[in-house]
Structure 1
């Protein structure tokens, strides 16, 4: 009994030291030609892998908010905060975002244009009172970006509000 146990223990230590894949014909490392340069890989971002449970890319279903009710610009030590409040057309609006129509925060002729966009649930929701449909969002602007801005215009579906620099 002791001899059998000793032989099994020694065999398991020898096999574990050799590596399972190497012992049975697998490869431990890819061949030299399959290596990608270190500069081309980022270990913090996982590689795209096709799979059964992979979700498709999200489609932007956001729309302009119904009405802009407030626009406020507050100075900060690092620049400014642009705050906008709007009234959604129905309850349940979420994912509010102030976004430039072109995708970049660069002003054209000193005018920074922002769209106030929200997303709604796919199911029908009640309209409800105006207080229950208020949505607020803000965006931070640095001093460098603020230097070229003379006017800010926030656009909704029914109206837009503007604020000029004094």
Structure 2
């Protein structure tokens, strides 16, 4: 009993000494003051300093750029927009013409008319293999994709539309 009481007493005294360590100059977390905003000087040349410069001449072992073989998906089955703290996630799923569809993506369609009317339009595109595949059941041809949109991009949007080959689905803002 005496041994545990003395160990407990030493532990309490050690922990109470930690309070003075917090404000000590020996503590590394006190070596710098709190942060304050500072002005930033930027020049037009430094704006894209981390982006590599594209040159017309390609390297010896570089591959030619691949052509876009994607096509619009056959049918859009679902369009769902889930709100997030920073904007929204637009989720779309559809049924491809045949099995093996990959590289599904929602490609934004920009037009002056859509911008004027507050419409955000996407084309749901997939890429099929170069070899023939079976058609298969609808469940085996199901493809989905989602895209994150910031609240700043959603400010002027009244309607979100996702377009496929056979149909399009829309969701209006409430």
TM-score by length of 1: 0.68
Partner of 1:118: 126
Partner of 2:26: none
Kindly state the Cα deviation for residue 70 of structure 1 after the two structures are TM-superposed: 0.1
Measure, in 1, the Cα distance between the counterparts of 2:85 and 2:50: 36
Kindly state the Cα deviation for residue 153 of structure 1 after the two structures are TM-superposed: 0.7
Partner of 1:35: none
Measure, in 2, the Cα distance between the counterparts of 1:43 and 1:80: 29
- Sort the Cα spacing of 1:164 and 1:76 in 2 relative to 1 into closer, same or farther, 3 A: same
Kindly state the Cα deviation for residue 49 of structure 1 after the two structures are TM-superposed: 4.1
Query: Alignment RMSD, CA only?
Result: 2.5
Measure, in 2, the Cα distance between the counterparts of 1:144 and 1:42: 25
Partner of 2:59: 50
Check conservation: 2:123, 2:164, Cα contact below 8 A: yes
Q: 1:84-129 CA distances to partner (integer Å, 9 max, x unpaired)?
A: 00000000000011011239xx844111111000000000001000
SS in 1 for 2:94: strand
- Sort the Cα spacing of 1:44 and 1:72 in 2 relative to 1 into closer, same or farther, 3 A: closer
Partner of 1:19: none
Kindly state the Cα deviation for residue 80 of structure 1 after the two structures are TM-superposed: 0.4
Q: Which runs of 5+ in 2 are unaligned?
A: 1-44
Check conservation: 2:107, 2:124, Cα contact below 8 A: yes
Kindly state the Cα deviation for residue 43 of structure 1 after the two structures are TM-superposed: 7.4
- Sort the Cα spacing of 1:44 and 1:139 in 2 relative to 1 into closer, same or farther, 3 A: closer
TM-score by length of 2: 0.65
Check conservation: 1:154, 1:160, Cα contact below 8 A: yes
Q: 1:102-160 CA distances to partner (integer Å, 9 max, x unpaired)?
A: 39xx8441111110000000000010000010000011111111111111110000000
Check conservation: 1:107, 1:113, Cα contact below 8 A: no
Alignment of 1:16-165 (within 5 A): 45=52, 49-51=58-60, 53-102=61-110, 107-165=115-173
- Sort the Cα spacing of 1:122 and 1:96 in 2 relative to 1 into closer, same or farther, 3 A: same
Kindly state the Cα deviation for residue 42 of structure 1 after the two structures are TM-superposed: 5.6
Count of aligned pairs between the two proteins? 127
Kindly state the Cα deviation for residue 45 of structure 1 after the two structures are TM-superposed: 3.6
